[in-house]
Structure formats: C-alpha cells, structure tokens
C-alpha cells in the first residue's frame, strides 16, 4: 500500500482529480489532506471525498512536533497541490526526494515567492510569452527550484487572457499530475 498526503491552500481541483484517479486503486491511500487556509474550498472537497483534514497554523507547521507527526505517517509521497507555504527544512529532511510540487508555469521562469495561481498567468500574458505550461518538481529549501520531474507545454494565442491561460494550464494539470504521481509511487 502506497501512502500519500496532499497539502492544499485553495480550491482543491488538483486534490479532487488525484483522489478520483486513485479511487479504485486499492494500492494507494490518501492518508490525509494538510491545509493551512480555513477558507480553502479544498476542505469541503476533502470531506466529500472522505479524506481526513489536518489544519495547520504557521507556528505548528514548522514545529518539531508537526514534522514528527508527518514522519510518523510513513508516507511514500507528499504532494503539494496548490500549497502556498514554504516547506520547513525538517520536513524536507524527513522526506528526501519524496515531496513534489506542481507549478503553473515553465520553471525556472515565473517561479519563486509571489508567483502562484493567477499571478503567474497574469505575468506570462503581460510578457506576451509564446508558451506556458506546468512543472512538476521535487521540493527543496528554495521556492520552485527543486529538480524537475516533468514539464508540459501549451501555446498562448494573440488574444490570450490570464483566465483563458489558467483554463489551459488547468487541463494540463488534470492530465499530467495524477499519472506522474502514480509513476513516482510505483516506478521510481
């Protein structure tokens, strides 16, 4: 049995898709959802999906107790699915090369602090980029700079808006994130 924890801060569409993808796979269990934002719609999604939610405060998140709690879950992978806090070094040390993030741009461009969600798409459209995409990468101590596992591309149209680009990126995320997680769990 492979054990997953999914960290979220917002809407939770990636959480939903991952949970649905593994629903009938009895070799994968989403042990919990860790959430830092009491207003996140992802909490409702997790409840409907029957996955326990562990809310965390900022102080708790970097505490030794939380890191120990997570280490005790014996996870095979921690998945950051729209999670917006930096991961404490202690957790990265507890799960080396076992924490992955999805970023809604082609890193190393449009990464780092402040580049998340729609802010990324606004910057990409403003710069009139020809391409954008998604990056799935391992997490290290520096925002959006861990080793890249997969990138997928889409093109921007002349009339592209941040919203229309977000929809394209969303499709790429839905298509590639669960299957990449599966590959990491079983074939890496």
For ligand GAR, the closer of residues 89 and 167 by Cβ is 167
Closest C-alpha among 23, 22, 164, 6 to residue 77? 6
Residue nearest to ligand GAR according to CB distances in the complex: 82
Q: How distant, in Å, are the alpha carbons of 7, 28, 85, 128 from that of 142?
A: 17, 29, 11, 27
Q: Which residues contact 113 (CB under 8 A, 6 or more apart)?
A: 143
DSSP 28: E
So which residues are the catalytic ones? 103
Q: Which is nearer to ligand GAR, 12 or 178 (CB)?
A: 12
Q: Work out how close the CB of 26 gets to ligand GAR at its nearest, in angstroms, rounded to a whole number.
A: 25
Interatomic CA distance for residues 13 and 183, integer angstroms: 20
**Residues of the shown chain interacting with ligand GAR in the complex, contacts defined by CB under 6 A:** 8, 10-14, 42, 81-82, 102-104, 116-117, 120, 173
DSSP label at residue 74: -
């Amino acid at each position: 049995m492979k054990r997953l924890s999914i960290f979220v801060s917002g809407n939770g569409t990636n959480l939903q898709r991952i949970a649905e993808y593994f629903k009938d796979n009895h070799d994968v269990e989403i042990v919990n959802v860790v959430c830092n934002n009491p207003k996140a719609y992802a909490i409702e999604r997790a409840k409907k999906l029957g996955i326990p939610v562990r809310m965390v405060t900022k102080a708790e998140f970097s505490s030794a107790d939380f890191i120990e709690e997570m280490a005790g879950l014996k996870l095979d992978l921690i998945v950051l699915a729209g999670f917006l806090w930096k991961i404490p070094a202690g957790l990265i040390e507890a799960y080396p090369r076992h924490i992955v993030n999805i970023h809604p741009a082609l890193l190393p461009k449009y990464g780092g602090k402040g580049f998340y969600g729609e802010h990324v798409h606004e910057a990409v459209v403003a710069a009139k980029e020809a391409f954008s995409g998604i990056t799935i990468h391992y997490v290290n101590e520096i925002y959006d700079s861990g080793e890249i596992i997969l990138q997928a591309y889409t093109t921007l149209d002349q009339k592209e808006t941040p919203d229309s680009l977000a929809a394209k990126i969303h499709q790429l995320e839905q298509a590639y994130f669960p299957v990449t997680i599966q590959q990491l769990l079983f074939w890496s």
